Amino acid sequence: MLPPRFRTPQAAWGLLAPLLLAAPATVQAEEVTAESIIDQASALRDASSRLPAGAQVLGSSCTDVALPGLSFRFRCSVRYTPAPERPAAPARPAAQP
C-alpha cells in the first residue's frame, strides 16, 4: 500500500507527469511499395511517385527478390507521414437579392 502522501490524485499526477513527458510522441507513418524488374532506381522512383501530395518522406529501403529461373526483381518501400489535414473552409453566406 502507498504511503498517505501518495494517495491523493495530485500526488499521482506528480508521479506520472515525468513518465508521460518522457515518452516520445508517436508518428503515424505510412508506407508505399513498388517493384521493378529493371533496376533499384526504377522501383524507388515508382514508389516515390505514389506518395500523396504534401507527404514528408521519413526513409526508404530496397531489397532484391529472387525468382525462379535465375531471375530477380527489386522491391522498394518509402515511409512517409501524410500531410496535415487542412481545416474546412467556412461556408459562405448565401447572396441576398
**DSSP labels, 21-71:** HHSPPP---EEEEEEESS-HHHHHHHHHHTSPTT-EEEEEEEEEEEETTTE
Domain boundaries, the chain: 36-83
The pLDDT of residue 2 is: 54
The better pLDDT of the pair 89, 16 is held by 89
The better pLDDT of the pair 81, 6 is held by 81
The better pLDDT of the pair 96, 44 is held by 44
The pLDDT of residue 8 is: 58
Q: Is 87 helix (H, G, I), strand (E, B) or coil?
A: coil
Question: What pLDDT, in 10s, does the model give residues 12-34?
Answer: 545 545 544 454 555 588 999 99
Please state, in angstroms and rounded to a whole number, the distance separating the CA atoms of residues 74 and 43: 6
